[in-house]
Amino acid sequence: MFADTLPESVIKRLSIRARELGAVNLGQGIPSFPTPAHVIQAAKAALDDPGIGVYPNFLGEIALREAIAKKLNHDTRNILVTVGAMEGTATAILSLVENGDRVGIVTPDYCNHFPQVMLARGEIVPIPLCEGESWTMDLTLIEREAKRGMKLLIITNPSNPTGFVASKSELQALVTLAAEYDFWILADETYSYLTYDTPHTSLLDYWNQSDRLIVVRSFSKEYAMTGWRVGYVAPREDTLKTFANVHDSLVGCVPKISQRAAIAALSGPQDFQTQHHAAYVRRRRMTMDAVNKTAGLMLPTVVGAYYAFVRYDTDRPSVDISEDLLTKAKVAVVPGTYFGQGGEGHFRISFAVDDAILADGLKRLQQFFS
């Protein structure tokens, strides 16, 4: 069966093994912070609503779509609430990609985008970033693939796993290429809220320049709501109906109680964001300092998100390096090969964990490579 060819989630399997072995888990990207108290309180209050158990609007509750539109300075009619960003990207891909369509993916990229293209029966076209002191986009390679008939380009910005953040000039170039060669751009902006020295530029800023732009975001990481499963996709109004039909076929709707929690997340106090950002700044510095002081390891500057994509200087496959780190050093990291072309020779660290856990894991990494 075709479904048998879909890759297993290595990150979930890695987390299970880390628990079994008592290892420090620097593999899974779950924020260490609890869901904000006012969000929990809103969910508790929602339980007293007699209609809480009734199906909500399959597009998403209007109050939530209005709150999202206000946050994005966008049109409510172009918002579809999804079961996390993952369902948002899956809905977009399944709506646009047909059998054999060429889909460019800027790699290394979030590993779950690849099986989504496979489910749509698309042809994956990896377009690697250029690695140096920082990561940059290879616009020449993107144009080459556009000339060969690319239907869709997927970019994660800020990037999981590399921490790359696309510049204004890079995004402008992408939008110009999309208009010239008639392809769609899907930007997964799950980590739009988390950059360091470079502000994030959204694909939404170029909305008036192309009718083939799609943005997906999530509540999971920004509001420490990974288990609530709420995200959203912003397509063009003329494609929203198609997206909505695919969404309805996949999941029907997002649970009403999760949507109430998401409304509170957007409309309630935001002061926790400053505290979270300060913690990530501190943990980023801890990670970069530890890696850069370790012989045989190299780390381009992490510009956004909370991952470090570390290069090592041996020829061993990243799967083997990751296995040794897990079984011998008792620290879990994700092999770079699972993030597509350009990922081999690396492993991914998540520094979303508590400071003490991070410090322990980094110490084990240093000892292993020493």
Residues 310-326 have pLDDT tens digits of 999 999 999 999 999 99
How many Cα atoms are found within 13 Å in the side-chain-facing hemisphere of 6?
15
Q: Based on the domain organization, do 22 and 158 belong to the same domain?
A: no
Is there a contact between 329 and 361 (Cβ–Cβ < 8 Å)? no
Beta-carbon count within 10 A of 244 CB: 18
pLDDT at residue 3 is higher than 90: no
Write the CATH number for 308. 3.90.1150.10
User: Which tokens hold the place of 207?
Assistant: 């909305």
Q: Are residues 82 and 57 in the same domain?
A: yes
When pLDDT is averaged across residues 294-319 and rounded to a whole number, the result is: 97
Q: Please, where are the H alpha helices in 165-255?
A: 168-181, 237-250
Return d(Cα 181, Cα 145) in angstroms, integer.
10
Which pLDDT score is estimated for 267? Answer: 97
Strand ranges across the sheet with 123-128: 80-82, 231-234, 213-218, 184-188, 150-156, 102-107, 123-128
224, 101: one domain = yes
Banded model confidence at residue 337, pLDDT cuts 50, 70, 90: very high
Average pLDDT estimate for 127-151: 97
Percent of the chain with pLDDT over 70: 99
Q: For residues 30 and 62, what is the distance between their CA atoms, to the nearest angstrom?
A: 29
What pLDDT is attached to residue 11? 85
CATH of the domain at 119: 3.40.640.10
By mean pLDDT, which of 108-112, 236-240, 251-255, 351-355 is the weakest?
236-240
Looking at the structure, tell me whether residues 139 and 233 fall in a common domain. yes
Q: Rounded mean pLDDT of 324-329?
A: 97
What is the model's pLDDT at position 26?
97
Number of independent structural domains in the chain: 2
Q: Count Cβ atoms below 10 Å from residue 337 Cβ, excluding itself.
A: 20
Higher-confidence position of 236 and 359: 359
Rounded (5°) CA angle 84-151-144: 120
Tell me: do 331 and 232 sit in the same domain.
no
Using CA atoms, how far apart are residues 204 and 79, in angstroms rounded to an integer? 12
Higher model confidence: residue 201 or residue 12? 201
- pLDDT category at 238 given cuts 50, 70, 90 is confident
- How sure is the predictor about 37, in pLDDT bands with cuts at 50, 70 and 90? very high
* pLDDT (mean) for 245-257: 97
Same structural domain, 211 and 332: no
Q: Report, as an integer, the average pLDDT of 159-177.
A: 98
Residues 200 and 243 in one domain: yes
Burial of 223 (0-12, 13-18, 19+ CB in 10 A): buried
Predicted TM-score (pTM) above 0.85:
yes
Q: Are residues 114 and 8 in the same domain?
A: no
End residue of a domain, out of 239, 267, 295? 267
Residue that wins the pLDDT comparison between 136 and 6: 136
Q: What is the mean pLDDT of residues 326-351?
A: 97
Pick the last residue of a domain from 267, 300, 324. Answer: 267
Q: Which of 267, 297, 319 represents a domain boundary (last residue)? A: 267
Q: Indicate the average pLDDT of the chain.
A: 96
* pLDDT class of 1 with cuts at 50, 70, 90: low
Assess whether 193 and 289 both reside in one domain.
no
What percent helix, strand, coil does the chain show, rounded to 5? 45, 15, 40
Q: Give mean pLDDT, residues 35-56.
A: 96
Claim to verify: residue 346 and residue 256 sit in the same structural domain: no
Question: In the prediction, which pLDDT does 370 show?
Answer: 86
Q: Does residue 165 share a domain with residue 20?
A: no
Confidence of residue 9 (pLDDT cuts 50, 70, 90): confident
CA 300 and chain centroid, separation: 19
Both 22 and 59 in one domain: the answer is no
- Across the range 257-284, mean pLDDT stands at 97
Range of the domain at 77: 37-267
Tens of pLDDT, residues 204-228: 999 999 999 999 999 999 999 999 9
Q: Is the pLDDT of residue 259 over 70?
A: yes
- pLDDT, one tens digit per residue, over 348-358 is 999 999 999 99
Model confidence at 8: pLDDT above 80: no
Q: Which residues of 109-142 are buried (b: 16+ CB within 10 A; e: fewer)?
A: bbbbbbbbbbebebebbbbbbebeebbebebebb
